[in-house]
Structure 1
Amino acid sequence: MQQHTYTLDRWEDRSGHRQAWKFGYRGTAGEFGRIEVVYPASRRGDRNVTEVKGDTVPVTSFMGWAYGRKPSLFIAELSVGGTGVRLKRNRWAQTRAGRALRMQVTGREYRYRASSARHGDRTLTRNGVEVRIRRHGSSARKKATLTVLGPADGTDLALATVMCGVNTRNLTRGGAVRAFFARSLHWLDIFQ
């Protein structure tokens, strides 16, 4: 099985007002060319949008309830090449495999799941292709490393990289508990 590894560097643009700050990852992914992840690419009410653009990847956006600067899996919508994608997940499942985010894009079934209890390790799989995503480093040296196993195409890379700009802590039980308490405290703060 063929294997390729690509590294995207984290970037940030803190110019202008705080609400206009942008963050993300960018780099070159071999034959796929340049890829850039931007979050929040835009804001729609209390929802943030993460967007991926690149030389050979379809424009992909993920919109969800704002959790910091990133969208979360709560009230989420995914669009690949302008086509909406239905997302499914079992938020009550006890295992990481059971809590995986499931989607069907261009007739292919994908699963995006936490591959370890660590917050930065995720895996996107479809029949014959696996993309392992690892976010690591600190401060200005943060990176996202993508390890691609199998004959991946631009859609596979677009889906994997857009999730680098999404808060996916709900894919683990511990992350779901932390997110629940954070959301509860946020709602309590609103009512005061």
Structure 2
Amino acid sequence: MQQHTYTFDRWEDRSGHRQTWKFGYRGTAGEFGRIEVVYPARRHGDRHVTEVSGDTVPATSFAGWAYGRKPSLHLGQLSVGGAGIRLKRNRWAQTRAGRALRMQIAGREYRYLATSARHHDRALIRNGVEIRTRRHGSGARKKVTFTVLGPADATDLAVAAVMCGVNTRNLTRGGAVRAFFNRSMNWLEVGQ
């Protein structure tokens, strides 16, 4: 099975007002060329949008309820090449595999799941292809590494990249509990 590894560096643009700050990852992924992840690329009230663009990858975006600077899976909407993609997940499942985000893109079934209890390791899987993502480093040295197993195409890489700019803590039980308590505290603050 063929395997390729690509590492993207984290970047940030803190110019202007705090509401206009942008963050993300950028790098070169072999034959796919340059790829850039931007979050929040746009804000719509309490919803943030993460976008992926590049030399050969389709324009891909993920919009969801804001959680920090990233959109969360809550009320999430994925778009690949201008087509809206239906997302499914079982938020009550006990295992990481059961909690996986499921989607169908261009007639292919995908699963996006946590591969460890921490939020650093994820995998996008479809028949014959797996793209493992690992976030590592801290501060200005943050990076994301993509390990591509199998004959991946530009769509596979675009979806894996956009998910790096999405808060996916809810894919683990522990992350879901933390997210619930954080949302509860935010709602309490709003109510005061």
Question: Do the two structures share a fold, i.e. TM-score over 0.5?
Answer: yes
The residue that corresponds to 1:84 in the other structure is 84
The offset of 1:82, in angstroms, is 0.3
The residue that corresponds to 2:52 in the other structure is 52
Amino acid at match of 2:125: T
Amino acid at match of 2:81: G
The residue that corresponds to 1:166 in the other structure is 166
Unaligned runs of 5+ in 2: none
Amino acid at match of 2:56: T
Give CA deviations for 1:67-100 in whole Å, capped at 9, x if unaligned.
0000000011000000000000000000000000
The offset of 1:45, in angstroms, is 1.3
Give CA deviations for 1:95-132 in whole Å, capped at 9, x if unaligned.
00000000000000000000011211000000000000
**Distance (Å, rounded) in 2 between the aligned partners of 1:146 and 1:118:** 17
Amino acid at match of 2:141: R
Paired residue total: 192
After superposition, the CA RMSD in angstroms is 0.3
The offset of 1:178, in angstroms, is 0.1
Q: Does 1:115 align with 2:119?
A: no
Q: Does 1:141 align with 2:146?
A: no
Unaligned runs of 5+ in 1: none
SS at match of 1:155: helix
**Distance (Å, rounded) in 2 between the aligned partners of 1:61 and 1:21:** 18
Amino acid at match of 1:72: S
Q: How does 1:91-106 map to 2 (within 5 A)?
A: 91-106=91-106
**Distance (Å, rounded) in 2 between the aligned partners of 1:66 and 1:145:** 24
The TM-score, its normalising length taken from structure 1, stands at 1.00
Give CA deviations for 1:18-60 in whole Å, capped at 9, x if unaligned.
0000000000000000000000000111100000000010000
Structure 1 segments of 4+ aligned residues over 4 angstroms from their partners:
none
Task: Give the fraction of aligned pairs with identical amino acids, expressed as a percent.
Answer: 82
Amino acid at match of 1:178: R
Amino acid at match of 1:114: A
Amino acid at match of 1:120: H
The residue that corresponds to 1:152 in the other structure is 152
Q: Does 1:3 align with 2:3?
A: yes
Q: Does 1:34 align with 2:29?
A: no
